[in-house]
Amino acid sequence: MSRLGKIPVTIPSGVTVTFENGLLTVKGAKATLTREIKKDVEVKIEGNTITLSPKNTPDAKALWGTYAAHIHNMITGVTEGFTRVLEIEGVGYRGEIKGREIVLNVGFSHQVNVAIPEGINAEIVKNVVTLTGPDKEALGQFAANVRKVKKPEPYKGKGIRYQGEYIIRKQGKKAV
C-alpha cells in the first residue's frame, strides 16, 4: 500500500483542478499544467481535496503513489514554482543568455548553445545559473541537460555542477 497515495491532496485557494477523459489539468496563478493519468488509478475531486485509489490491475499499486506525488508537484508548481541552481566552475568558464539560449564557454574550442524550453526562465549572475519554472520534471531535465554539457571532473573540479553538489576529488600523480 502506498503511503503517499493514502493521503488526500489538498487544493489551495486560487488553484482549480479538473479531471476529464483521463487528463488532469491544474490551473494556478503562475501556470497551467496538464498530465495524462492512466485508467489504473481512480481520481476523485471533492471540494478542495483530491483522493486517489487504485483499481484492481497489476500496475495500479505502482502508479497510485506516483500519481499522488505528481499531482502534489503540479499544485506546488502552479502556486510557488521550482528552482534549480547550477554553478559553473573553472578558469575562463562562463555562461551568458542570448535570447532563448544559454551560451556556455566551458573549455571547448567552440561555444555550446543550449535552447531554453518554453515555460522555463534562466538567469546567469557571476557563473551561477538559476533556472525557474512550474513543471518540476521539465525543469529537472533541463538542468540535467545543462550539466551534461561539461560534467565536473574529479581532479580539479572544473565543470558545471548543482549548487551544493559535492565532487569527490582524486589525487593526481605524485612526484617521485
| CATH code, domain with 139 | 3.90.930.12
Total number of domains constituting the chain: 2
As a whole-number percent, the residues of the chain with pLDDT over 90 amount to 81
Query: What pLDDT, on a 0 to 100 scale, did the predictor assign at position 175?
Result: 75
Average pLDDT over residues 125-148: 96
Contact 89, 152 (CB under 8 A): yes
Of 53, 79, 105, the domain-final residue: 79
| Domain membership flag for residue 141 | yes
For 101, the domain range is 82-162
Same domain, 36 and 88: no
| Domain membership flag for residue 168 | no
**C-alpha to C-alpha distance for 173 and 176, rounded to whole angstroms:** 9
Q: What digits encode the pLDDT tens for the residues 31-56?
A: 999 999 998 899 999 989 999 999 88
What pTM was computed for the model?
A: 0.90
Q: What digits encode the pLDDT tens for the residues 13-31?
A: 999 999 999 899 999 998 9
Same domain, 72 and 89: no
Same domain, 69 and 130: no
| Domain membership flag for residue 17 | yes
Same domain, 97 and 50: no
Query: What pLDDT, on a 0 to 100 scale, did the predictor assign at position 117?
Result: 95
Same domain, 95 and 155: yes
